[in-house]
Amino acid sequence: MSSANVIRWLSSFVPGPILLNWPERVRSAAGAFVGLALTATLMQLVFGSSAAFPMLIAPMGASAVLLFAVPASPLAQPWSLIGGNLVSATVGVACAMLIPDPFIAAAIAAAGAIAGMFTLRCVHPPSGAVALTAVLGGPAIRALGFHFVLEPVFVQSALLLGSAMVYHTITGHRYPHVAPIASEATTDAAQHPSLRSDLEAVLRRRSELLDVNPDDLETLLRETEMQAYSRNFGELSCRDIMSNPVISVTPDATAGTASYLLNQHRIKALPVVTEDRRVVGIVTRANLAGGAAEAIPSVLNRWRQRWLAPRPSLGIARQVRRTSVKELMTTHVHTVSVNAPIVELVPLFATHGHHHIPVLDTHRRLAGIITQADLIAGLYRRTRSPEYRAA
């Protein structure tokens, strides 16, 4: 092996950078201190210092690293901690009782603990040390037998977990690091089926377990994608691609007026603005169609009461046309600033289902409107520019 290959091989041992700011590092260290100190203190208060087992077993230190330093890891979640420790303690005690040679028992206990954790989906690396402690922890530990599973393993695990949950809540961290609500996850997967399916296919092909939640990995991929958009198209702002002037209506305008403007200008949405151009809603063809559908029952009821309906369709149309825009418009309108980078528009169109986004000036007044076509045209112009090609 050449010296260059040796150097390259040795350089592979150099750890990569930890992309975590110093306040978070201090928070993690302080959390481990609080969790372990609280666990030991409560153990002494409940069982007394003369108990037949230690107030803290060594694997709790390793568990504290996961719970407080990498709380987003699937290996640090509550079921991983509790289930992994209980399974490993049970396997370790059984091996200590059944196998005379402690070293063979320790090896079998660790292997059995891994198999059990995989089976029950509660992989927790410090639990391997729990299995070894049950075998090699000395006469006092061996004398506890299966009592070791509950005291101290289960009690200390529960206390450390409770400390972690309280500490992360106080310091503003999400723990347990649970997946999105089922309905939200299903909606997101339906909106982005290709990325999720591709991600799952790649993970299945790998021959190793990655210490990252697939939902977190998908989020990271999307945020990285947005960062790339921001880098490549960050110079373009909403002012550069918006349509202006904007055809709009006031809240007191009738649906007939709105329908006329939509048809006259061949557009699909109208911002609803006050006299000083403040956006208070948006009305679309779908809003007008929905108003017509809602008007049908009331008109038919009046017809049944009078036993006469000379031209019901015209009656319905006239009623809807006389309805004010403020009764039909959508009041929850997502807007953007004229100075906002167009990268902010991508998730609004791609994920949230918006089709028309009003653009506001620095005084929060209507300045323009952006459609999906405007965004695509802006991105296309940017990719054809000499600056983008040079980059």
Is there a contact between 219 and 242 (Cβ–Cβ < 8 Å)? no
Rounded CA-CA distance 286/269 in Å is 9
278 Cβ contact list (under 8 Å, min separation 6):
364, 365, 366
Quickly count: other Cβ atoms within 10 Å of residue 283's Cβ.
Answer: 27
- Give the residue from 126, 146, 139 showing the smallest Cα distance to 57: 126
Highest mean pLDDT among 13-22, 31-40, 343-352: 31-40
Strand ranges in the chain using DSSP code E only, listed in sequence order: 269-273, 279-284, 336-337, 356-360, 366-371
Rounded CA-CA distance 300/334 in Å is 36
Rounded CA-CA distance 184/187 in Å is 5
- Counting Cβ atoms within 10 Å, is residue 169 exposed (0-12), middle (13-18) or buried (19+)? exposed
Name the helix (H) or strand (E) containing 377: helix 372-384
Per residue in 36-52, pLDDT (tens digit) is 999 999 999 999 888 88
Query: What integer pLDDT is reported at residue 224 of this predicted model?
Result: 76
Is there a contact between 151 and 55 (Cβ–Cβ < 8 Å)? no
Could you tell me what percent of the chain has a pLDDT over 90? 52
Is there a contact between 328 and 288 (Cβ–Cβ < 8 Å)? yes
Rounded CA-CA distance 214/235 in Å is 32
Confidence of residue 386 (pLDDT cuts 50, 70, 90): low
Domains for the chain: give ranges and CATH numbers.
Answer: 18-170 (no CATH), 239-390 (3.10.580.10)
Per residue in 333-368, pLDDT (tens digit) is 999 999 998 878 877 886 666 789 999 999 999 999
Query: What integer pLDDT is reported at residue 99 of this predicted model?
Result: 97
- Give the residue from 79, 96, 133, 90 showing the smallest Cα distance to 113: 90
**Average pLDDT across the chain, whole number:** 84
Q: Put the strands of the sheet holding 336-337 in their side by side order.
A: 336-337, 356-360, 366-371
The pair of structure tokens assigned to 228 is 């790339």
Per residue in 299-333, pLDDT (tens digit) is 444 544 444 444 444 444 555 567 899 999 999 89
- Counting Cβ atoms within 10 Å, is residue 349 exposed (0-12), middle (13-18) or buried (19+)? middle
Quickly count: other Cβ atoms within 10 Å of residue 234's Cβ.
Answer: 12
Per residue in 254-294, pLDDT (tens digit) is 998 999 999 999 898 999 999 999 999 999 988 888 655 44
Is there a contact between 167 and 28 (Cβ–Cβ < 8 Å)? no
Helices in 99-213 by DSSP H: which ranges?
102-120, 126-136, 139-144, 147-148, 155-170, 182-191, 193-205
Per residue in 218-247, pLDDT (tens digit) is 777 877 776 776 666 666 889 989 998 899
Rounded CA-CA distance 79/84 in Å is 7
The mean pLDDT of 161-188, rounded to a whole number, is 75
